Amino acid sequence: MPGPVEGRSRPRRRLGGSASVGTAAGPAADSDLVRATRGLPVSRTPVWFMRQAGRSLPEYRALREGTAMLEACQDPDLVTEITMQPVRRHGVDAAILFSDIVLPLVVAGVDIEIKPGVGPVIASPLRTVADVDALPPLEPDRLDFLATAVQRLVGELGATPLIGFAGAPFTLATYLIEGGPSKEHARTKAFMYAEPAAWQRLLERLAVSAATFLRVQVDAGASAVQLFDSWAGVLSAADYAGRVLPHSRAVFDGLARPEVPKVHFGVGTGELLPLIGDAGADVVGVDWRVPLDEAARRVGPGYSLQGNLDPAVLLADRETVDREVRRIVEQGRAARGHVFNLGHGVLPDTDPGVLTHVVELVHELTAR
């Protein structure tokens, strides 16, 4: 088994100040990633990529061969190895747990499959109030595999932080109600309007299971968490504020670990940016539509920012990649703290060499 990952980087400079005050314990507590989430000075802008563990890597495809996605997510050996792959290859400043947002539902007993090239598909979608009330709760003692994987990872990662994650109640509800991926999420919205009481119960239950899923990861040593509300951008600001945001806040409140840095991300959330931080995030994730300087204005002071590089840019020529990376590094200076990332996940046909190059370029441009 390989030793702790020191990254491919030079040793991190310790900066003065009360770095580890108010952050989670462990060798990663003073990492650039954790510091950037707090708006503290960093030795250079930390970089990681959403979906960095996955099909852009040949070593991932080789390891996953013959194992179904949701089975792989429950095997601590596979979770550890797949999570480590992009850290070793790219020298990113954080690992993100290899798992999936539907896993808490799967562990609770919901019949879900992840179809390659499609996404999560639910055998019996939730369509009635009775379906909502029959949703099984997530028992924390079924998450031993997760605690084991996180503990192993934290040991291997050393000073590199592990980001734990969960799916936000709204985005999970879209999969449960639609039965699979959807563009308009019309059934979800119709249910939200027609059955407000059952909608509230559904999102409350999903918030409890997301908080449980996060707490297991944090208690096992994860340094930060990200709540993915990938499809929240389909909502108006008023509906988001009234019918969704309180449940996202319940996830962070239910986690009950105020010292752990929290990232909150969604796609198409330009109109929601002034609201998203209210859920209790330290860092607001931004897609490629709103530049970071404008996003900093919309979220207001008191938040760090993450994201904005269009994943499709990584499929273009090197000059375009470099120009976009430089733009985002510059515009990111408007935020309290900046975590370099994509505006959504790595596309499967991305050349992994380009990802490694982006890490090196961000580090070079921001070394202090």
Asked if 53 touches ligand CP3 (CB under 6 A), the answer is yes
Asked if 98 touches ligand CP3 (CB under 6 A), the answer is yes
Asked if 163 touches ligand CP3 (CB under 6 A), the answer is no
Asked if 180 touches ligand CP3 (CB under 6 A), the answer is no
In this chain, which of 119, 125, 180, 274 binds ligand CP3, going by CB under 6 A? Answer: 119
Nearer to ligand CP3 among residue 39 and residue 268 (C-beta):
268
Q: Would residue 75 show up in a list of annotated catalytic residues for this protein?
A: no
Q: Would residue 100 show up in a list of annotated catalytic residues for this protein?
A: yes
Q: Which residues contact 74 (CB under 8 A, 6 or more apart)?
A: 103, 107, 145
Contact stretch for ligand CP3 (CB under 6 A) within 28-36, 99-107, 241-249, 351-359:
99-107
Catalytic residue among 100, 229, 282, 287: 100
Cα–Cα distance measured from residue 322 to residue 186, given in angstroms and rounded to the nearest whole number:
39
260 closest CA partner among 269, 251, 268 = 251
What angle (nearest 5°) sits at the alpha carbon of residue 84, between those of residues 61 and 316?
A: 60
Contact stretch for ligand CP3 (CB under 6 A) within 47-55, 130-138, 186-194, 288-296:
47-55
Catalytic residue among 35, 44, 64, 89: 64
In this chain, which of 42, 47, 50, 225 binds ligand CP3, going by CB under 6 A? Answer: 50
Q: Would residue 55 show up in a list of annotated catalytic residues for this protein?
A: yes
Asked if 36 touches ligand CP3 (CB under 6 A), the answer is no
Asked if 48 touches ligand CP3 (CB under 6 A), the answer is no
Q: Would residue 14 show up in a list of annotated catalytic residues for this protein?
A: no
Amino acid at residue number 53:
A
CB of 130 to ligand CP3, least distance (A): 26
In this chain, which of 215, 345, 352, 363 binds ligand CP3, going by CB under 6 A? Answer: 345
Question: Hey, which residues between 274 and 303 contact ligand CP3 (CB under 6 A)?
Answer: none
- Residues noted as catalytic: 51, 55, 64, 100, 175
Binding site for ligand CP3 (CB under 6 A): 50-55, 64, 69, 96, 98-101, 114, 116-120, 165, 181, 228, 230, 345
